[in-house]
Structure 1
Amino acid sequence: MPHFVIHCSENILNLQQPEKIILEVHQAAVNTKLFDEPDIKVRLNPFKEHYLVGGKRGDFIHVFGSIMEGRSTNQKADLSKNIVSKLKDMFPSVKFIAINIDDFEKATYCNKTMV
């Protein structure tokens, strides 16, 4: 916890190395001081086909963040801005860069160490 899943057009991987993208999103999350670094998980899912952006095929990046409930709206907004700012710096020519943050409900979250 937390999880950051990056969806992007496949061409994004021609603009930056996947490892660099993952590490930069990881570091942006670390910089917020909201999470213990070893707990942060980042994954990258490029889309080669079957997507539209504004009715066309074009480059995009969208990060889906899932974090444990309990952070304030301001903390989540800062997290979003930190990650989008980093991606904007890395990809100045990409018009569509966004993130959304969802909360895990502590009462219903379970992983293998909890059973």
Structure 2
Amino acid sequence: MPHFLVDCSESIFEFHAEDKIIKQVHLAAKSTGLFDENDIKVRVNSFKKYSTGNKIEDFIHVFSHIMEGRSNEQKENLSRKIVQRLTSLFPAVPNIGSNVTEFRNADYCNRNRL
């Protein structure tokens, strides 16, 4: 925990490799001080076919899944830091966004909780 799922157009890899995107999202999450670095998980899903507002424009969207308990300001800061890093890395990509969804502790389970 947390999990960062990066959806993006495949063509952005012409600018930077997937590894660089993963590293930048990881660093953005780490920079907030909200997470232990060893717990941060980042994955990239790229798409060949997509539409963005009835057009075909490059995009990056990060879906951040974190454990409940953070303030709205902390969640906003997390999204902002992710978007800032990706915008710096991809200034030509017109659609870059992020959102935060919280896991409820009451119904979350992983291997360590068994």
The 5-angstrom pairing of residues 1-115 of structure 1 reads 1-49=1-49, 51-115=50-114
For residues 75 and 20 of structure 1, the distance between their equivalents in structure 2, rounded to whole angstroms, comes to 24
Report the alpha carbon displacement of residue 54 of structure 1 after superposing the two structures with TM: 1.1
Report the alpha carbon displacement of residue 112 of structure 1 after superposing the two structures with TM: 1.2
User: 1:101 is aligned with what amino acid?
Assistant: V
Report the alpha carbon displacement of residue 14 of structure 1 after superposing the two structures with TM: 1.1
Aligned sequence identity (%): 53
Cα deviation code 1:36-85 (max 9, x no counterpart):
00000000000012x10010111000000000000000000000100000
Cα deviation code 1:12-49 (max 9, x no counterpart):
11110110110010001000000000000000000012
For residues 107 and 13 of structure 1, the distance between their equivalents in structure 2, rounded to whole angstroms, comes to 39
For residues 111 and 21 of structure 2, the distance between their equivalents in structure 1, rounded to whole angstroms, comes to 28
For residues 28 and 98 of structure 2, the distance between their equivalents in structure 1, rounded to whole angstroms, comes to 13
User: 2:59 is aligned with what amino acid?
Assistant: F
- Secondary structure of 1:23's counterpart equals helix
Q: Which runs of 5+ in 1 are unaligned?
A: none
Cα root mean square deviation, aligned: 0.6
Moved segments of 4+, more than 3 Å: none
Cα deviation code 1:84-108 (max 9, x no counterpart):
0000000001110000100000000
- Secondary structure of 1:11's counterpart equals helix
Report the alpha carbon displacement of residue 7 of structure 1 after superposing the two structures with TM: 0.2
Q: Which runs of 5+ in 2 are unaligned?
A: none
